[in-house]
A and B are shown apart, each in its own frame.
Chain A
Amino acid sequence: MSERVPVLRIGDVLLVSIQMDLEDQTVMDLQEDLAERIVATGARGVVIDITAVEIVDSFVGRMLATTASISRMLDAETVVVGMRPAVAITLVELGLSLGGVRTALDLEKGLAILRRRSGLPDADPA
């Protein structure tokens, strides 16, 4: 019924690109899908791109934090990238800091973080 967010694999990194306003069920499904894919692929990192997300309320914020925790349990680091300024401000105003979730400004920087962490050589930004 609800739509699912595609999970793409790039090397040993899973890329979740959220291209729509998140509904609750979608977020829950994503959480489940992601955990399964991490186990299935042995991915070492997850990048969640929320560039297109306009509203992150406390529920979605908590879900992101939970997803990051679950991934870490499965030996994969999560980086949330592309957060809009309005979203960031709102989250802070809501009192949510997404503790434990690494963030990066964009996808490139997010991947760089993951490479650094997994000891892989830095991709040449040029």
Chain B
Amino acid sequence: MSDVAPDMRWRPVAALATEQDVFLLRRGGLVAAEALGLERQDQVRLATALSELGRDRLECTAVTTAFSVRGGAAATLVVTLRWQDGPPPSPESLASAARLVPRIRHVPAGQGGSIAVEQDLPAGADPHGAWADRVRAMLGPTAGDTLSAGMRAQTHDLIAALEDVRAQREELHLLNQELEETNQGVLALYNELSQELEETNSGVVALYAELEDKTRRLQEVSEAKTRFWATVSHELRSPINSVIGLARLLLAPGSRPLDADQRQQVSLIAGSGSTLLALVDELLDVAKAESGQLRPQQAPVDLGVLLGQLQGTMRPSSPGGRVRLSVAGPAGVPEPVTDEVMLTRILRNLLSNALKFTEAGEVSLDVGTESAGGREWMLFTVRDTGVGIPHDQQERVFEEFYQVQGPHQRGRSGTGLGLPYARRLTELLGGTLALTSEPGRGTTVVVRLPVRPEPEAPAGPAPADGPVPAAEPAGAGPADGPRPLGVLLCVDDDPAFRAVVRPVLERLADRVVELDRATGIAEAVRREGADAVLLDLQMPGTDGYAAARELAGAGPEVGGVPLVVVTAAPDDAVDRDRLAHARAVLRKGGLTYERLAEVLLGGPSGAGTGPTGTGRTGTEQAGGGAGGRGGKEAQ
């Protein structure tokens, strides 16, 4: 081996540790063989041999490879693989390599050894050429054929691009899948929600139906209640009227004298009857207000007169002079247009309440005005120093029949209708009623009413056929020289009423004929030769309407007889069109001699040609009763 070293011209050395190094080794061999002018086949042979041997030596430690050229004219390329430790090369590898190159020399050295692969170079090969640089470049750490590297890079890029596309497609697919899943989820959720909504809806519908049913039943109950009130109060009215009338009859100057005790008792009967009638009237009024039958009759009102009357009628109610009632004048308040009757009732109720629950101190009524919402308002403030109303009941007192429980009630009658009635009337007039109270110190009620009614509501006087307000001045004209009638026919099924009215009628006519039913009334008129007929409206069998029709159609002899219809029914319950024949329709309450005389005798000859003044069909209310009805409004 001593001849090897001196001939070395160049010796690129590289380590051989990995498969990559084997690859580089054979590439190096290929490059070196090509550079040194070997034939193509020999190039491949050398490279393959190096590949076989390099692969065989991979398992050894500290393997190095070296390229060198030896000799002069007949030069030889020597590739040496040297290793420090490892098994000897396999005979197969050595044999394979030996088939490809001319010479293989294996030199064992202790644990290691070396293999020299020798390839003869063709003559004319340039051993000093640039081959060594190329081999070194090949074997260096960054070795690599630039062409091959470029191709590799291109391939790499291509593959990367393909990979990228595939990854994107997969991602897209994945996204689609995800989207589909989300869609399904959304759809499921939607279905679930729809179902839930539907269930809720059906529940709501059921609930609504139930609510409607409840509302309807509530309405029915309310209507039934109102009807009940109206019926009861109406039914009660007739007997009460009789009681009052009979009591008055007993007390009348012309009747048989009573002793003091009896007079006292009859007075009590009359007073209680009046109170009862007032209560019944009030009940009826509330019922009417409830059912919306009450309509305000707007007309100019003289506040001064109204307040004066209140002061006059309410004062006596104050107990024992320990309570002072002060009613302010209407100074500065313009003349309002409103329903006088309703206003009177409102204030009367409030004052009566205040007086009733004030043991000592003062009850005052003040009047003021204010402008709000572009309209003029008048304020009636009723203030007392009475027991007051507990806070938790200040709204409940506006419920019908509600009364604050307590010792203050002792000895005081009442229906519990006053406040709700007052509030309802106030609302009907387009106003508000507010209550503030401090228990033990007093109560203040403020009624706020428009000075003029709503513009859209016709503010003109009441229609000609409407009822005339009951509070019209009392028909004071007592007949100065009433000429008694000949025969007066009184038709009523109620003997009590007939008894009440009989003394009055006896002052009007020589003879009073009473009938308890209207059947055959025309015949009765003819038979008795009646000069006038007093006819009740509500009777079993033939009622007042039928009787009036019978009279009207019975020929001039009978039809010309003045007819006066009396009834306990409220004004609006009377069908005036069917009573066109009657000279007047009077209410049983407060029926007086003066009224009857006025109607029956006032236009004696007018019976045939038609009435004057109030007209046949006009309703003569109980105005002659000197506010008899209104006077009993207070609880």
Contacts and interface: CB of A to CB of B under 8 A. Distances in A.
Contacts of B99: 93-95
A89 B159 CA distance: 32
A24 B19 CA distance: 7
A25 B20 CA distance: 9
B30 A55 contact: yes
Nearest to A55: B47
Contacts of B45: 90, 93
B44 A54 contact: yes
Contacts of B96: 58, 94-95
A21 interface: yes
Interface in B50-85: 51-52, 55
Interface in A56-74: 56-59
A3 B156 CA distance: 7
A21 B43 CA distance: 15
B151 interface: yes
Highest count of chain A CB atoms <10 Å: which of B43, B44, B51, B158: B44
Nearest to B99: A93
Contacts of A59: 51, 55
B41 interface: yes
Contacts of A23: 19-20, 23
Given A6-B162, A21-B148, A59-B55, A94 B48 contact: yes
Contacts of B27: 21
B330 to A, nearest CB: 108
Given A24-B22, A55-B48, A90-B41, 7 more contacts: A3-B155, A6-B159, A6-B162, A54-B44, A89-B41, A90-B48, A93-B99
List the 4 shortest-distance A-B pairs measured between CB atoms, nearest first. A57-B51, A86-B44, A24-B19, A90-B48
Nearest to B95: A95
Interface in B138-162: 148, 151-152, 155-156, 158-159, 162
Interface in A27-55: 54-55
A3 B41 CA distance: 28
Contacts of B152: 3, 20
B581 interface: no
Interface residues of B, number: 28
A19 B20 CA distance: 18
- Chain B at the A interface: SS class: helix
Contacts of A94: 48, 52, 96, 99-100
A98 interface: no
A19 B100 contact: no
Interface of A: 3-4, 6, 19-21, 23-25, 54-59, 85-87, 89-90, 93-95
B412 interface: no
Contact of B23 (A21, A56, A85, A87): A21
B26 interface: yes
Contacts of A54: 30, 44, 47
Contacts of B162: 6
A25 to B, nearest CB: 7
18 contacts: A6-B159, A19-B155, A20-B151, A20-B155, A21-B148, A23-B20, A24-B19, A24-B22, A54-B30, A57-B26, A57-B52, A59-B55, A86-B44, A90-B45, A90-B48, A93-B100, A94-B96, A94-B99
A55 B26 contact: yes
A87 B26 CA distance: 14
Interface in B83-100: 96, 99-100
